[in-house]
Structure 1
């Protein structure tokens, strides 16, 4: 069964004996969805799961420890979803387009985890080696795609790291425009101030497709196949 953006980061949130650690993590995601990570506490999570207030400390040293693990899982979820949504036999440009589209779909359908992954809620990130490694694996997926396109001549002859930073800033910024509602507000303001309604009524899916296509074209070599 193939993954969807909605399901790729969801875990069974019912507590079973021997799986308390994951039950606490699932409860934390629900709590973050309701009131944000800044209001999260291990004791409140324990009450939500129905265990003693000291039980979470058998698995997490403190709140930051739990948030770091959620961020690590989030990186792994993104990497798995992107890998599943990318056709290995497609050309570099098409694979980059598929990966970027999947990335945005994940962000939009999992805004709480996305903000946690890339926000400043986890202190001392470099102390968490597994979190750092998961982040690098996620980045490597895009970097490998771009490096492959540079070698094949599909992408412009430039430093792949620079092209990666360009693409990441494009989709990362667009993701936050979507999940924070900024894009909707900009569209509303534009519609109120101009008679140009050329993009009025575009679905979010169409806007994602248009943005990703422009991003891929911006690093593609003129004359290279789409």
Structure 2
């Protein structure tokens, strides 16, 4: 039976919640206006009063999916003790989210326009902005050479997202031991490629 008791503005939120649940179960292909309306207990036409089409709904669901990932990243980062560990935690949270919630992960990055080029201009709950903040902290701590900082998000994100996608698609072995090994390899590569180990001439000059 269709529900008709939503307060003003609550139906839109309920439709997004329903879409998020469907995306969690089956990815972006499951987010269909008719199914979302049914899950929310309203008519198909009622859903169209809030979203012009499926793409409009899917965009909002994808934003929520990114916010869920961002929350996971912030949680892990908060438990890290230094900039190097926080960069590691960022990547670990990203891959962990992809493997534990593949439907939301695919929705988060398969149903939104291109990411804002400037991380600082992205929403506060966007993973790209969080990664940028972690890299800024690393630079402030003298671990990231200012000459390497521009575009560092692209390098780190590409490596971690690539691994997550390969694991989800079955292109790499996905036993717990294999996943741990692959994560250690990729995050180690990111760490060595971006962060100073403290022995270079630039690191010595900054300390002096």
- Structure 1 residue 29 displacement after superposition: 3.7
Aligned counterpart, 1:41: 32
Q: Is the 8 A contact 2:123 2:129 kept in 1?
A: no
Do structure 1's residue 163 and structure 2's residue 174 form an aligned pair? no
Q: How does 1:101-120 map to 2 (within 5 A)?
A: 101-119=92-110
- Structure 1 residue 136 displacement after superposition: 7.9
- Structure 1 residue 97 displacement after superposition: 0.5
The secondary structure found in structure 1 opposite 2:153 is: helix
Runs (4+) off by over 6 Å? none
Distance 1:133 1:221 in 2: 27
Do structure 1's residue 70 and structure 2's residue 61 form an aligned pair? yes
Distance 1:29 1:95 in 2: 28
Aligned residues: 189
Aligned counterpart, 1:9: none
Q: How does 1:47-62 map to 2 (within 5 A)?
A: 47-62=38-53
- Structure 1 residue 220 displacement after superposition: 2.1
Question: Match for 1:219 among 185, 190, 194?
Answer: 194
- Over the residues paired in the alignment, what is the CA RMSD in angstroms? 3.2
- Structure 1 residue 153 displacement after superposition: 2.2
Q: Is the 8 A contact 2:144 2:195 kept in 1?
A: yes
Q: Deviations over 1:13-34 (max 9, x none)?
A: xxx8444334323432444456
Distance 2:183 2:64 in 1: 25
Do structure 1's residue 93 and structure 2's residue 84 form an aligned pair? yes
Q: Deviations over 1:184-210 (max 9, x none)?
A: 3xx8xxxxxxxxxxxx97242443234
Structure 2: stretches of 5+ with no match in the other structure? 116-120, 200-208
